[in-house]
Amino acid sequence: MPETDYLLENRKAEAAQRFAALSALFDPATLRQFDACGMAEGWRCWEVGAGGSALVRAIAGRVGHAGHVLATDIDASWTKEAASANVDIRIHDVALDPPPGEAFDLVHARLVLVHVPERERALRNMVSALKPGGWLVVEDADPALQPLSCIDVHGPEQELANRIRQGFRALLSSRGADLGFGRTLPRLFRQAGMAEIAAEAYFPITLPECAPLEVATIAMIRDDLLGHGIATAEEIERHLRNVRAGVLDLSQPPMISVRGRKPR
């Protein structure tokens, strides 16, 4: 995917805040997936499309100095803050570049494949980088299952929030994101020959961590919202005031987490 096509381009100053907000909201659920795989000291892990540094640090802490984390992204501007003795950061396109020549215990990508046009090739590359018996964990949202920002619509504040969220989804879709991709993952895992497949969804109805994510996302796409006539500057400011005032129960689409094991 050409970098310019990625709506939430990492170089934007607000990207660091958005990555921190994604981690605050989703890392606990992601770490539960790793626990289910039996992540342990000494594991070698590949974090694909890492974005920020928090999850990479958390993985590095779990695998310890006997283990190793390779964190890759097409733009590692924010990932590199996680560099340490057992973490390597690399610029790498999961679909277009050859997979790293290591045999990983675990390969993980969260909210990455939905943005990659050559998703199935990316998935094949991730599977090929696993050692026999290694675990693949892929997590992607499925906004088509639950597209609303506020699921309890009881006034103009929620209607505005939902209109802005709908516009954001349309922008993502127009740039190639597949908004119903999450649900396809179990099938894609099976087609890729994975074993012990398990899938579940994590669906925040409203959590304190949803508000910083909304603020950071709106900051990143503000110009696109204005440019496409999705909301006026006044409406965007009003929505941000509503978010900060805590009058909205902000939701997220279900995050579908799938894990599977490469046969031995």
Ligand X SMILES: C[S@@+](CC[C@H](N)C(=O)[O-])C[C@H]1O[C@@H](n2cnc3c(N)ncnc32)[C@H](O)[C@@H]1O
Residue numbers at the binding site for ligand X (CB under 6 A): 1, 6, 8, 10, 19, 22-23, 49-52, 73-75, 93-95, 110-112, 115-116
Q: Which CB atom, from 47 or from 157, has the smaller least distance to ligand X?
A: 47
Burial 151-177 (b: 16+ CB within 10 A, else e): eeeeeebbebbbbbbebbbebbeebeb
Minimum Å distance from CB 7 to ligand X? 9
Q: Which CB atom, from 112 or from 160, has the smaller least distance to ligand X?
A: 112
Minimum Å distance from CB 227 to ligand X? 21
Residue pair 221/171 in contact (Cβ under 8 Å)? The answer is yes
Minimum Å distance from CB 221 to ligand X? 12
Element (H, E) at 46: strand 44-48
How far apart are the C-alpha atoms of 205 and 13, rounded to whole Å?
A: 28
Q: Which CB atom, from 117 or from 147, has the smaller least distance to ligand X?
A: 117
Local structure of 140: helix, strand or coil: strand
Q: Which CB atom, from 56 or from 160, has the smaller least distance to ligand X?
A: 56
Minimum Å distance from CB 116 to ligand X? 4
Quick one: CA torsion of 104, 26, 145, 5, rounded to 10 degrees?
-70
Vertex 210: Cα angle to 207 and 211 (nearest 5): 115
Q: Which CB atom, from 52 or from 67, has the smaller least distance to ligand X?
A: 52
When CB distances to ligand X are compared, the closest residue is: 51
Structure tokens at 115: 């943005």
Minimum Å distance from CB 153 to ligand X? 26
Structure tokens at 198: 């398990």
